[in-house]
């Protein structure tokens, strides 16, 4: 079997950012560009060459209660990220933002709320209009530039999205989110090793981010840097010892990348024996364990 075919990652997400990203430990979520705010807690999150069919409760347990911090984001369409907290309680926040703008038309915070609301409804050009108003009246911060980048991305303008994320990163080098999005765009184009650079920057900005380690491990694996991928997954496990997906992916790296069958079997058995793992992931681990055992004979 070719390396990469079985390597799957879940885009784990948690809770919010204001300017830069803060740590929290909420459940992971992925939404499509057309999802509404009300849909956010209903949609499973998957990422990788072979997405895993996991429901929301499975993702909660895979995140692990022992995760120490980690930036909190919501994935739109499995491709780019926004701060999760920014998409919560949008209806009430939009009402307050509109009141604020009635007396202060250039208020950046209020315009960002309307921008997030537009993105959640798939109204990307409207989101850009709000950010244009903000730029003209008060200027954009790194969070607002991420909104611009996400809007351009969903309109198919990858170069413009890349430039916005780069500007956000330059404005705030501790903004892990912008580097994460830059990595995802590079990976989308098949530039795994360049993506790895950005994912490592995201990790440097937030060393407790399981999400950063998982994406970086995926990029390293695709770039055939198997030892690097394994180390990144071990670091993810240090941060979140109950993250079954990290063990599963580490088993894949040991099996198809490093050909260390004993370590591969150990990691797959950890997933199988876990009381908190989903049925789907446990069955995948069982199948992978059987593959390793067949190859050994």
Task: Give the dihedral sign, CA 98/102/105/108.
Answer: negative
- pLDDT per residue over 268-287, tens digit each? 999 999 988 888 889 989 99
Q: Name the 3-class secondary structure at 195.
A: helix
Task: Provide the residue ranges of all domains of the chain, joining segments of one domain with +.
Answer: 8-296
**pTM attached to this predicted model:** 0.74
- Distance CA(97)–CA(77), nearest Å, equals 26
Say what the pLDDT of residue 16 is: 24
Say what the pLDDT of residue 9 is: 37
Residue 281: CB atoms within 10 A of its CB come to 24
Q: Which residues contact 188 (CB under 8 A, 6 or more apart)?
A: 79, 158
Was domain 8-296 assigned CATH 1.25.40.10? yes
DSSP assigned state of 11:
-
- Read off the tokens for 237: 């496990």
Q: Name the 3-class secondary structure at 297.
A: coil
Phi-psi category of 4—alpha, beta or left, where left has phi over 0 and alpha has psi -120 to 50?
Answer: left
- Check if the beta carbon of residue 68 is closer than 8 Å to that of residue 36: no
Q: Which residues contact 208 (CB under 8 A, 6 or more apart)?
A: 23, 67, 68, 69, 70, 239
From the number of C-beta atoms within 10 Å of its C-beta (0-12, 13-18, 19+), residue 287 rates as exposed
Which parts of the chain sit beneath pLDDT 50? 1-72
Strands (E), the chain: 8-9, 17-18, 20-21, 30-31, 47-48, 73-76, 80-83
Q: Name the 3-class secondary structure at 54.
A: coil
- Distance CA(46)–CA(9), nearest Å, equals 7
Say what the pLDDT of residue 74 is: 55
Say what the pLDDT of residue 191 is: 92
């Amino acid at each position: 079997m070719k390396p990469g075919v079985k390597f799957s990652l879940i885009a784990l997400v948690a809770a919010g950012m204001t300017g830069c990203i803060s740590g929290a430990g909420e459940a992971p979520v992925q939404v499509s560009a057309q999802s509404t705010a009300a849909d956010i807690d209903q949609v499973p999150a998957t990422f990788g060459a072979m997405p895993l069919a996991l429901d929301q409760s499975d993702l909660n347990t895979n995140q692990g209660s022992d995760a120490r911090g980690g930036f909190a984001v919501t994935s739109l369409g499995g491709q780019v990220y926004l701060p999760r907290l920014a998409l919560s309680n949008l209806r009430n926040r939009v009402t307050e933002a509109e009141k604020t703008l009635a007396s202060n038309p250039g208020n950046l915070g209020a315009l960002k709320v309307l921008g997030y609301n537009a993105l959640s409804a798939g109204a990307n050009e409207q989101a850009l209009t709000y950010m244009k108003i903000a730029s003209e009246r008060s200027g954009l911060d790194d969070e607002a530039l991420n909104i611009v980048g996400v809007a351009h991305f969903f309109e198919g303008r990858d170069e413009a999205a890349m430039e916005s994320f780069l500007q956000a990163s330059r404005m705030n080098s501790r903004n892990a989110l912008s580097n994460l999005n830059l990595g995802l765009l590079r990976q989308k184009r098949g530039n795994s090793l360049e993506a790895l650079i950005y994912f490592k920057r995201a990790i440097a900005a937030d060393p407790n981010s399981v999400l950063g380690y998982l994406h970086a491990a995926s990029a390293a694996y695709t770039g055939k840097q198997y030892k690097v991928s394994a180390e990144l997954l071990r670091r993810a496990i240090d941060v979140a010892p109950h993250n079954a997906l990290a063990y599963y992916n580490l088993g894949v790296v040991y099996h198809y990348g490093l050909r260390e069958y004993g370590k591969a079997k150990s990691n797959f058995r950890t997933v199988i024996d876990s009381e908190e793992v989903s049925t789907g992931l446990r069955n995948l681990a069982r199948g992978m364990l059987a593959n390793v055992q067949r190859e050994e004979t």
